[in-house]
Amino acid sequence: MFKLNTCFWFAIALIVWNACASQAKSLDDIRAEGPLGWMGISNSRDQKSVKKIAIEEFKEKLGRLQAQQKDIQKILAIQQDSLNYLKKEQNSLMENGMNKIDDLMASLLERMEKQQKDSQTKMEAQEQEWDKLKIQQEVAKEMSEDIQEKQKKMEDRMETFMNKMEGLHTSLVDRMEKHEKDRQTKTEAQVQLISQPKIEFPDDYEISKEVPEDSEELSTPNRFEKIGSRLFYIERTNKLNWFEAESFCQERGGHLAAFENLAEYNAVRAKIPGFDLYWIGINDQAEEGVFVSSASGEPAPYLNWLRNQPDSAGDEDCVQMFGSTSFNGLNDNICSKKMLFICQADEKIQY
Protein backbone atom coordinates (compact mmCIF):
# COMPACT_ATOMS: atom_id res chain seq x y z
CA MET A 1 0.00 0.00 0.00
CA PHE A 2 2.83 2.44 0.73
CA LYS A 3 4.44 1.77 -2.64
CA LEU A 4 1.16 2.46 -4.56
CA ASN A 5 0.63 5.84 -2.85
CA THR A 6 4.17 6.87 -3.65
CA CYS A 7 3.77 6.01 -7.35
CA PHE A 8 0.51 7.93 -7.52
CA TRP A 9 1.90 11.19 -6.17
CA PHE A 10 5.01 10.81 -8.26
CA ALA A 11 2.86 10.62 -11.44
CA ILE A 12 0.89 13.80 -10.49
CA ALA A 13 4.10 15.69 -9.88
CA LEU A 14 5.47 14.60 -13.26
CA ILE A 15 2.34 15.83 -15.16
CA VAL A 16 2.37 19.25 -13.47
CA TRP A 17 6.05 19.64 -14.17
CA ASN A 18 5.53 18.88 -17.89
CA ALA A 19 2.72 21.43 -18.16
CA CYS A 20 4.78 24.17 -16.55
CA ALA A 21 7.77 23.36 -18.70
CA SER A 22 5.70 23.67 -21.92
CA GLN A 23 4.32 27.05 -20.94
CA ALA A 24 7.73 28.32 -19.95
CA LYS A 25 9.18 27.19 -23.29
CA SER A 26 6.60 29.23 -25.29
CA LEU A 27 7.36 32.39 -23.36
CA ASP A 28 11.08 31.83 -23.63
CA ASP A 29 10.86 31.47 -27.40
CA ILE A 30 9.10 34.81 -27.70
CA ARG A 31 11.46 36.51 -25.31
CA ALA A 32 14.49 35.22 -27.17
CA GLU A 33 13.67 37.40 -30.16
CA GLY A 34 13.95 40.53 -28.07
CA PRO A 35 11.75 43.59 -27.98
CA LEU A 36 12.28 44.41 -31.60
CA GLY A 37 11.34 41.01 -32.72
CA TRP A 38 8.31 41.09 -30.63
CA MET A 39 7.29 44.38 -31.98
CA GLY A 40 7.93 43.20 -35.55
CA ILE A 41 5.80 40.27 -35.06
CA SER A 42 3.14 42.37 -33.51
CA ASN A 43 3.23 44.70 -36.47
CA SER A 44 3.27 41.97 -39.05
CA ARG A 45 0.47 40.10 -37.54
CA ASP A 46 -2.86 41.23 -36.99
CA GLN A 47 -4.98 40.76 -34.09
CA LYS A 48 -6.66 37.69 -35.55
CA SER A 49 -3.41 35.80 -35.97
CA VAL A 50 -2.53 36.47 -32.37
CA LYS A 51 -5.84 35.11 -31.21
CA LYS A 52 -5.50 32.14 -33.48
CA ILE A 53 -2.06 31.37 -32.15
CA ALA A 54 -3.29 31.80 -28.61
CA ILE A 55 -6.23 29.47 -29.30
CA GLU A 56 -4.01 26.89 -30.93
CA GLU A 57 -1.55 27.08 -28.08
CA PHE A 58 -4.41 26.74 -25.64
CA LYS A 59 -5.80 23.77 -27.52
CA GLU A 60 -2.37 22.26 -27.68
CA LYS A 61 -1.92 22.77 -23.96
CA LEU A 62 -5.45 21.57 -23.34
CA GLY A 63 -4.75 18.50 -25.43
CA ARG A 64 -1.60 17.89 -23.49
CA LEU A 65 -3.48 18.41 -20.26
CA GLN A 66 -6.22 16.05 -21.40
CA ALA A 67 -3.60 13.52 -22.47
CA GLN A 68 -1.91 13.94 -19.13
CA GLN A 69 -5.29 13.65 -17.42
CA LYS A 70 -5.97 10.43 -19.33
CA ASP A 71 -2.53 9.21 -18.33
CA ILE A 72 -3.32 10.14 -14.77
CA GLN A 73 -6.69 8.39 -15.03
CA LYS A 74 -4.97 5.33 -16.48
CA ILE A 75 -2.45 5.45 -13.69
CA LEU A 76 -5.26 5.90 -11.21
CA ALA A 77 -7.17 3.02 -12.81
CA ILE A 78 -4.04 0.90 -12.70
CA GLN A 79 -3.50 1.90 -9.12
CA GLN A 80 -7.16 1.21 -8.35
CA ASP A 81 -6.90 -2.19 -10.01
CA SER A 82 -3.69 -2.80 -8.12
CA LEU A 83 -5.38 -1.65 -4.95
CA ASN A 84 -8.40 -3.85 -5.62
CA TYR A 85 -6.10 -6.75 -6.44
CA LEU A 86 -4.11 -6.10 -3.32
CA LYS A 87 -7.31 -5.87 -1.27
CA LYS A 88 -8.54 -9.09 -2.88
CA GLU A 89 -5.20 -10.75 -2.24
CA GLN A 90 -5.19 -9.35 1.24
CA ASN A 91 -8.71 -10.65 1.86
CA SER A 92 -7.78 -13.96 0.28
CA LEU A 93 -4.62 -14.13 2.32
CA MET A 94 -6.48 -13.18 5.44
CA GLU A 95 -9.23 -15.69 4.67
CA ASN A 96 -6.71 -18.39 3.83
CA GLY A 97 -4.64 -17.38 6.81
CA MET A 98 -7.65 -17.53 9.06
CA ASN A 99 -8.64 -20.88 7.58
CA LYS A 100 -5.11 -22.10 8.00
CA ILE A 101 -5.03 -20.70 11.50
CA ASP A 102 -8.37 -22.38 12.22
CA ASP A 103 -7.10 -25.62 10.72
CA LEU A 104 -3.84 -25.22 12.57
CA MET A 105 -5.63 -24.45 15.80
CA ALA A 106 -8.02 -27.36 15.25
CA SER A 107 -5.11 -29.65 14.45
CA LEU A 108 -3.17 -28.34 17.42
CA LEU A 109 -6.20 -28.72 19.67
CA GLU A 110 -6.78 -32.24 18.36
CA ARG A 111 -3.14 -33.11 18.95
CA MET A 112 -3.29 -31.62 22.43
CA GLU A 113 -6.47 -33.57 23.18
CA LYS A 114 -4.87 -36.73 21.81
CA GLN A 115 -1.72 -36.11 23.85
CA GLN A 116 -3.84 -35.42 26.91
CA LYS A 117 -5.83 -38.59 26.29
CA ASP A 118 -2.66 -40.58 25.72
CA SER A 119 -1.15 -39.08 28.86
CA GLN A 120 -4.30 -39.94 30.80
CA THR A 121 -4.21 -43.48 29.42
CA LYS A 122 -0.54 -43.80 30.32
CA MET A 123 -1.22 -42.43 33.78
CA GLU A 124 -4.07 -44.90 34.27
CA ALA A 125 -1.86 -47.72 32.99
CA GLN A 126 0.92 -46.60 35.33
CA GLU A 127 -1.55 -46.45 38.22
CA GLN A 128 -2.75 -49.96 37.36
CA GLU A 129 0.84 -51.17 37.14
CA TRP A 130 1.56 -49.46 40.44
CA ASP A 131 -1.50 -51.09 42.01
CA LYS A 132 -0.39 -54.46 40.61
CA LEU A 133 3.10 -53.85 41.93
CA LYS A 134 1.71 -52.95 45.34
CA ILE A 135 -0.46 -56.06 45.33
CA GLN A 136 2.51 -58.18 44.26
CA GLN A 137 4.61 -56.62 46.99
CA GLU A 138 1.88 -57.30 49.56
CA VAL A 139 1.48 -60.87 48.29
CA ALA A 140 5.24 -61.35 48.32
CA LYS A 141 5.38 -59.95 51.85
CA GLU A 142 2.55 -62.22 52.98
CA MET A 143 4.18 -65.18 51.25
CA SER A 144 7.49 -64.33 52.85
CA GLU A 145 5.87 -64.06 56.27
CA ASP A 146 3.91 -67.26 55.62
CA ILE A 147 7.07 -69.04 54.48
CA GLN A 148 8.93 -67.78 57.52
CA GLU A 149 6.08 -68.88 59.77
CA LYS A 150 5.90 -72.28 58.08
CA GLN A 151 9.67 -72.57 58.24
CA LYS A 152 9.55 -71.78 61.95
CA LYS A 153 6.78 -74.34 62.44
CA MET A 154 8.77 -76.87 60.47
CA GLU A 155 11.83 -76.12 62.56
CA ASP A 156 9.74 -76.45 65.74
CA ARG A 157 8.25 -79.70 64.46
CA MET A 158 11.66 -80.98 63.46
CA GLU A 159 12.99 -80.06 66.87
CA THR A 160 10.01 -81.77 68.53
CA PHE A 161 10.41 -84.76 66.24
CA MET A 162 14.12 -84.97 66.97
CA ASN A 163 13.40 -84.72 70.69
CA LYS A 164 10.79 -87.46 70.35
CA MET A 165 13.16 -89.57 68.29
CA GLU A 166 15.84 -89.05 70.88
CA GLY A 167 13.35 -89.95 73.60
CA LEU A 168 12.18 -92.98 71.62
CA HIS A 169 15.77 -94.01 71.04
CA THR A 170 16.49 -93.69 74.74
CA SER A 171 13.26 -95.51 75.59
CA LEU A 172 14.01 -98.22 73.04
CA VAL A 173 17.51 -98.67 74.41
CA ASP A 174 16.08 -98.81 77.93
CA ARG A 175 13.41 -101.30 76.84
CA MET A 176 15.95 -103.42 75.04
CA GLU A 177 18.17 -103.41 78.09
CA LYS A 178 15.17 -104.19 80.29
CA HIS A 179 14.01 -106.87 77.86
CA GLU A 180 17.45 -108.44 77.94
CA LYS A 181 17.46 -108.21 81.70
CA ASP A 182 13.95 -109.73 81.92
CA ARG A 183 14.91 -112.44 79.45
CA GLN A 184 17.92 -113.22 81.56
CA THR A 185 15.69 -113.20 84.63
CA LYS A 186 13.27 -115.59 82.89
CA THR A 187 16.09 -117.87 81.89
CA GLU A 188 17.46 -117.85 85.40
CA ALA A 189 13.97 -118.46 86.78
CA GLN A 190 13.42 -121.37 84.40
CA VAL A 191 16.82 -122.83 85.29
CA GLN A 192 16.02 -122.33 88.94
CA LEU A 193 12.59 -123.88 88.42
CA ILE A 194 14.15 -126.94 86.81
CA SER A 195 16.91 -127.27 89.36
CA GLN A 196 14.96 -126.51 92.50
CA PRO A 197 13.18 -129.24 94.44
CA LYS A 198 9.46 -129.56 94.23
CA ILE A 199 7.46 -127.10 96.18
CA GLU A 200 6.04 -128.88 99.18
CA PHE A 201 2.45 -128.06 99.87
CA PRO A 202 0.30 -129.46 102.66
CA ASP A 203 -1.52 -132.76 102.12
CA ASP A 204 -4.76 -130.92 101.50
CA TYR A 205 -3.24 -129.60 98.22
CA GLU A 206 -3.49 -133.04 96.67
CA ILE A 207 -5.66 -132.84 93.62
CA SER A 208 -8.48 -135.17 92.95
CA LYS A 209 -9.77 -135.04 89.43
CA GLU A 210 -12.72 -137.22 90.25
CA VAL A 211 -15.74 -135.00 90.73
CA PRO A 212 -18.85 -136.57 92.24
CA GLU A 213 -21.69 -136.31 89.79
CA ASP A 214 -24.12 -135.20 92.44
CA SER A 215 -22.04 -132.29 93.72
CA GLU A 216 -21.37 -128.92 92.08
CA GLU A 217 -18.41 -128.05 94.32
CA LEU A 218 -15.89 -130.05 96.32
CA SER A 219 -16.07 -129.59 100.07
CA THR A 220 -12.30 -129.96 100.55
CA PRO A 221 -10.59 -126.52 100.48
CA ASN A 222 -7.86 -125.71 97.93
CA ARG A 223 -8.92 -128.50 95.62
CA PHE A 224 -10.27 -128.37 92.06
CA GLU A 225 -13.86 -127.27 91.97
CA LYS A 226 -16.44 -127.39 89.24
CA ILE A 227 -17.21 -123.96 87.92
CA GLY A 228 -19.59 -124.08 85.00
CA SER A 229 -18.76 -127.20 83.00
CA ARG A 230 -15.08 -127.54 83.93
CA LEU A 231 -12.77 -128.00 86.92
CA PHE A 232 -10.70 -125.06 88.22
CA TYR A 233 -8.33 -124.60 91.14
CA ILE A 234 -7.97 -121.12 92.64
CA GLU A 235 -4.85 -120.44 94.72
CA ARG A 236 -5.81 -117.90 97.37
CA THR A 237 -2.70 -117.86 99.58
CA ASN A 238 0.67 -118.54 97.94
CA LYS A 239 1.95 -116.09 95.30
CA LEU A 240 4.25 -117.37 92.55
CA ASN A 241 5.64 -115.98 89.30
CA TRP A 242 3.99 -117.14 86.09
CA PHE A 243 6.47 -119.97 85.42
CA GLU A 244 6.23 -121.29 88.98
CA ALA A 245 2.46 -121.14 88.82
CA GLU A 246 2.38 -123.06 85.50
CA SER A 247 4.76 -125.67 86.97
CA PHE A 248 2.56 -126.01 90.03
CA CYS A 249 -0.54 -126.58 87.86
CA GLN A 250 1.31 -129.15 85.71
CA GLU A 251 2.44 -131.07 88.79
CA ARG A 252 -1.22 -131.32 89.74
CA GLY A 253 -2.15 -132.63 86.30
CA GLY A 254 -3.38 -129.36 84.79
CA HIS A 255 -2.28 -125.98 83.45
CA LEU A 256 -2.88 -122.34 84.17
CA ALA A 257 -6.47 -121.61 83.17
CA ALA A 258 -7.76 -120.20 79.88
CA PHE A 259 -11.45 -119.43 79.46
CA GLU A 260 -13.81 -120.58 76.71
CA ASN A 261 -16.15 -117.60 76.77
CA LEU A 262 -17.48 -114.66 78.74
CA ALA A 263 -19.84 -116.79 80.80
CA GLU A 264 -17.02 -119.00 82.02
CA TYR A 265 -14.81 -115.94 82.68
CA ASN A 266 -17.58 -114.29 84.73
CA ALA A 267 -18.28 -117.52 86.64
CA VAL A 268 -14.63 -117.88 87.68
CA ARG A 269 -14.30 -114.16 88.44
CA ALA A 270 -17.27 -114.35 90.78
CA LYS A 271 -15.24 -116.84 92.86
CA ILE A 272 -12.35 -114.39 93.48
CA PRO A 273 -13.64 -111.33 95.35
CA GLY A 274 -11.19 -108.62 96.36
CA PHE A 275 -8.41 -106.71 94.67
CA ASP A 276 -5.84 -109.48 94.21
CA LEU A 277 -4.20 -110.31 90.88
CA TYR A 278 -4.32 -113.85 89.42
CA TRP A 279 -2.12 -115.45 86.76
CA ILE A 280 -3.96 -117.31 84.00
CA GLY A 281 -2.53 -119.56 81.29
CA ILE A 282 -2.32 -117.06 78.39
CA ASN A 283 0.96 -115.57 77.10
CA ASP A 284 2.74 -114.19 73.99
CA GLN A 285 6.25 -115.32 74.87
CA ALA A 286 6.74 -117.16 71.57
CA GLU A 287 5.53 -114.31 69.31
CA GLU A 288 4.79 -110.78 70.38
CA GLY A 289 1.09 -110.00 70.13
CA VAL A 290 0.01 -113.62 69.52
CA PHE A 291 -1.56 -114.79 72.76
CA VAL A 292 -1.88 -118.57 73.16
CA SER A 293 -3.05 -120.96 75.84
CA SER A 294 -0.31 -122.74 77.81
CA ALA A 295 -2.56 -125.82 77.95
CA SER A 296 -3.04 -126.26 74.18
CA GLY A 297 -0.42 -123.98 72.57
CA GLU A 298 -3.26 -122.65 70.41
CA PRO A 299 -4.59 -119.07 70.23
CA ALA A 300 -6.69 -118.23 73.26
CA PRO A 301 -10.40 -118.57 72.37
CA TYR A 302 -11.53 -115.71 74.59
CA LEU A 303 -9.75 -112.52 75.64
CA ASN A 304 -11.58 -109.86 77.60
CA TRP A 305 -8.93 -107.12 77.61
CA LEU A 306 -9.05 -103.99 79.71
CA ARG A 307 -9.14 -100.72 77.77
CA ASN A 308 -5.84 -99.90 76.01
CA GLN A 309 -4.54 -103.41 76.72
CA PRO A 310 -2.42 -105.29 75.92
CA ASP A 311 0.34 -102.66 75.75
CA SER A 312 3.44 -104.85 76.20
CA ALA A 313 4.85 -102.15 78.47
CA GLY A 314 8.13 -103.29 79.99
CA ASP A 315 8.16 -106.65 78.17
CA GLU A 316 4.83 -107.85 79.54
CA ASP A 317 4.30 -111.32 78.03
CA CYS A 318 2.01 -113.04 80.56
CA VAL A 319 -1.68 -112.41 81.24
CA GLN A 320 -3.41 -111.87 84.59
CA MET A 321 -6.94 -111.08 85.71
CA PHE A 322 -8.32 -109.05 88.60
CA GLY A 323 -10.48 -109.91 91.56
CA SER A 324 -14.18 -109.18 91.13
CA THR A 325 -13.97 -106.08 93.34
CA SER A 326 -11.30 -104.56 91.08
CA PHE A 327 -11.06 -104.05 87.30
CA ASN A 328 -13.14 -106.23 85.01
CA GLY A 329 -10.81 -107.47 82.27
CA LEU A 330 -7.46 -108.99 81.37
CA ASN A 331 -4.07 -107.30 81.43
CA ASP A 332 -0.59 -108.27 80.21
CA ASN A 333 2.07 -108.15 82.91
CA ILE A 334 5.70 -109.06 83.57
CA CYS A 335 6.00 -112.82 83.96
CA SER A 336 8.47 -112.59 86.84
CA LYS A 337 6.01 -110.87 89.14
CA LYS A 338 4.54 -112.96 91.94
CA MET A 339 0.78 -113.18 92.31
CA LEU A 340 -2.02 -115.66 92.96
CA PHE A 341 -3.10 -117.97 90.12
CA ILE A 342 -5.89 -120.15 88.68
CA CYS A 343 -5.41 -123.68 87.29
CA GLN A 344 -7.62 -125.72 84.99
CA ALA A 345 -7.80 -129.55 85.26
CA ASP A 346 -7.87 -130.48 81.55
CA GLU A 347 -4.99 -130.05 79.12
CA LYS A 348 -7.10 -128.54 76.36
CA ILE A 349 -9.98 -126.19 76.31
CA GLN A 350 -13.06 -128.06 75.19
CA TYR A 351 -14.74 -126.12 72.40
Q: Is residue 294 part of a domain?
A: yes
pTM of the model: 0.40
In whole angstroms, give the CA distance from residue 199 to residue 243. 13
Q: Does the residue 321 lie in any domain?
A: yes
**300 located within any domain:** yes
Predicted pLDDT at 207: 40
Once rounded to an integer, what is the mean pLDDT over residues 159-188?
70
Q: According to the model, what pLDDT value does residue 254 have? A: 93
Evaluate whether residue 35 is within a structural domain. no
DSSP annotation of 343 reads E
- The model's pLDDT over 230-280, given as tens digits with 9 standing for 90+, comes to 999 999 999 999 999 999 999 998 999 999 999 999 999 999 888 899 999
109-118, 152-161, 326-335: least confident range: 152-161
Whether 202 shows a pLDDT value over 60: the answer reads: no
In a domain, 286, yes or no: yes
Most confidently predicted of 11-25, 88-102, 252-266: 252-266
Residue 277's domain comprises: 225-345
**How many domains does the chain fold into?**
1
Position 142 confidence tier, pLDDT thresholds 50, 70, 90: confident
CATH of the domain at 322: 3.10.100.10
pLDDT digits (tens, 9 = 90+) for 332-350: 999 999 999 999 997 554 4
What are the backbone angles phi and psi of residue 259, rounded to the nearest 5°? -100, 145
User: Rounded distance, CA 276 to CA 281, Å?
Assistant: 17
Please measure the distance between the N-terminal and C-terminal CA atoms of the chain and give it in whole angstroms. Answer: 146
> How many helices and strands (H and E) does the chain possess?
5, 8
**pLDDT value at 70 more than 90:** no
**Range of lowest pLDDT (34-38, 227-231, 234-238, 295-299):** 34-38
The answer to whether residues 252 and 232 touch, using CB atoms and an 8 Å cutoff, is no
pLDDT value for 301: 85
Residue 76's pLDDT is: 84
Does 322 map to a domain? Answer: yes
Q: Which residue has the higher pLDDT, 254 or 7?
A: 254
In a domain, residue 266? The reply is yes
Range of weakest confidence among 135-139, 162-166, 345-349: 345-349
Residue at 304 is within a domain: yes
pLDDT of residue 102: 80
Q: Is the pLDDT of residue 16 over 80?
A: no
DSSP state of 257: -
**Contact in structure between 280 and 257 (CB atoms under 8 Å):** yes
